């Protein structure tokens, strides 16, 4: 009987259920991220394949932007024209333009004097000359037109000498600002045709090939930070005392002799029943709380889907 009890005890110590007592069980997982473009188009280039490590900021894939480049060139031409126009407004009139306007004013004044002289000559004729009243009316109209022409040229010369008005300067600046915004918007749109890594990740899958037309938001590459996997362990509700976010943890897997450092990243706010893929049928009905442990694995020794066991380093233990 004593030998039988020893054998039974040895078998119990080697049973799978005895291993669960060494920690809370879960499955190693990665934070998979599905990367894609915000615009649709034909895939022109993809620089990484499954298993490759992508550094932060690296270019992952590029869409064909041939149809977009002429639009950018047109926006840049509009900006150059707006800047040139603003430069002319700020520079003010040229000396030649002022001189030309002064000469035009001199000619307009000479025309006014001649129109005045013609009108006075016909008005001062004796009554016997019987100047037609219609001719007098025509001369008066010519005199008024010459007078208005002189006033118009005088005003133009005054504006030239004073330079551009504040409103004209503001309008030129606004035109440049609008053209710059159009160029910037087009550059931002072209930037959407390139896909970059926001952090250091490992490529898990590339479901598309060069030449394929991909829709906006479609997955071009699935990536993950494989140096920081996590495991969701299930702690019985009666064992939650002392657990909090940031608490250190140790995680082990069957394939590795050494354990891994980790810490509690999240504690679920609600209870649930133990998942069916964990523990024995007698423990599946236990009320547990899901606790996520983030693991530090700089050498990338852990694989997704591997069972893991976590223990927590309580204060005073």
Among candidate residues 207, 203, 225, the one with its CA nearest the CA of residue 215: 207
pLDDT at res. 127: 56
Is 87 in the same domain as 232?
A: no
60: in domain: yes
Is 215 in the same domain as 306?
A: no
pLDDT at res. 27: 92
Is 90 in the same domain as 172?
A: yes
Bridge partners of residue 61, in order along the sequence:
46, 195
User: Cα angle at 11 between 6 and 16, to 5 degrees?
Assistant: 150
Among candidate residues 214, 255, 252, 219, the one with its CA nearest the CA of residue 233: 252
> Which three-class secondary structure state does DSSP give residue 313?
coil
Is 58 in the same domain as 195?
A: yes
d(CA 226, CA 299): 9
Average pLDDT value for residue range 286-295: 91
Question: pLDDT averaged over the chain?
Answer: 84
pLDDT tens-digit profile of 115-141? 888 878 777 765 545 556 677 788 888
Residue 82 pLDDT > 90: yes
Residue 1 pLDDT > 60: no
Bridge partners of residue 202, in order along the sequence:
53, 224
The CATH code of the domain that includes 268 is: 2.40.30.170
Is 265 in the same domain as 220?
A: no
Cα 5 to chain centroid distance, Å, stands at 69
pLDDT at res. 35: 96
pLDDT tens-digit profile of 23-79? 898 999 999 999 999 999 999 999 999 999 999 999 999 999 999 999 999 999 999
- Residue bearing the bigger pLDDT, 179 or 97: 179
pLDDT at res. 276: 58
Is 120 in the same domain as 182?
A: yes
Is 129 in the same domain as 88?
A: yes
Residue 20 pLDDT > 80: no
pLDDT at res. 158: 76
pLDDT tens-digit profile of 55-65? 999 999 999 99
Is 93 in the same domain as 136?
A: yes
Residue matched to tokens 């494989």 = 226
- Residue bearing the bigger pLDDT, 240 or 280: 240
Of the pLDDT bands very low, low, confident and very high (cuts 50, 70, 90), residue 15 is very low
pLDDT at res. 261: 95
> Full-prediction pTM beyond 0.85?
no
**Distances in Å between the alpha carbon of 87 and those of 80, 129, 172, 176?**
11, 61, 9, 10
pLDDT at res. 283: 55
- Please state the φ and ψ torsions of residue 4, each to the nearest 5 degrees: -65, -40
Helices (H), 163-265: 166-191
Range 219-228 burial, b when 16+ CB lie within 10 A, else e: ebbbbbebbe
What is the total count of domains within the chain?
3
Report the range of poorest mean pLDDT among 22-36, 95-109, 238-252.
95-109
Is 143 in the same domain as 161?
A: yes
Q: Which domain holds residue 196?
A: 33-65+191-224
Is 145 in the same domain as 173?
A: yes
Q: Could you tell me where the beta strands, DSSP code E, fall in 95-225?
A: 194-196, 201-205, 213-214, 221-224
241: in domain: yes
5: in domain: no
């Amino acid at each position: 009987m004593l030998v039988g009890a020893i054998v039974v005890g040895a078998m119990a110590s080697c049973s799978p259920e005895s291993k669960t007592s060494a920690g809370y069980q879960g499955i190693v997982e990665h934070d998979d991220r599905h990367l894609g473009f915000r615009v649709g188009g034909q895939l022109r280039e993809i620089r990484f394949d499954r298993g490759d490590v992508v550094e932060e900021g690296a270019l992952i894939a590029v869409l064909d932007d041939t149809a977009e480049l002429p639009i950018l060139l047109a926006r840049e031409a509009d900006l150059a024209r707006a800047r040139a126009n603003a430069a002319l407004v700020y520079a003010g009139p040229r000396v030649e333009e002022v001189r030309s306007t002064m000469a035009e004013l001199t000619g307009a004044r000479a025309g006014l004097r001649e129109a005045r002289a013609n009108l006075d000559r016909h008005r001062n004729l004796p009554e016997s000359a019987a100047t037609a009243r219609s001719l007098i009316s025509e001369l008066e109209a010519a005199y008024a037109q010459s007078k208005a022409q002189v006033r118009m040229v005088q005003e133009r010369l005054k504006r030239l000498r004073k330079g551009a008005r504040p409103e004209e300067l503001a309008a030129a600046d606004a035109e440049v600002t609008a053209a710059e915004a159009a160029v910037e918007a087009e550059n931002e749109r072209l930037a959407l045709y390139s896909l970059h890594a926001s952090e250091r990740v490992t490529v898990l899958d590339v479901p598309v090939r060069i030449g394929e037309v991909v829709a906006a938001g479609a997955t071009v590459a699935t990536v993950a930070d494989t140096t920081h996997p996590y495991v969701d362990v299930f702690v019985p509700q009666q064992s939650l005392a002392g657990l909090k976010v940031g608490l250190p943890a140790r995680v082990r897997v069957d394939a590795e002799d050494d354990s891994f450092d980790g810490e509690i990243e999240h504690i679920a706010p609600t209870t649930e029943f133990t998942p069916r893929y964990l523990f024995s049928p007698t423990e599946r009905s236990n009320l547990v709380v899901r606790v996520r442990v983030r693991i530090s694995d700089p050498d990338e020794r852990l694989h997704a889907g591997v069972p893991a066991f976590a223990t927590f380093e309580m204060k005073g233990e």
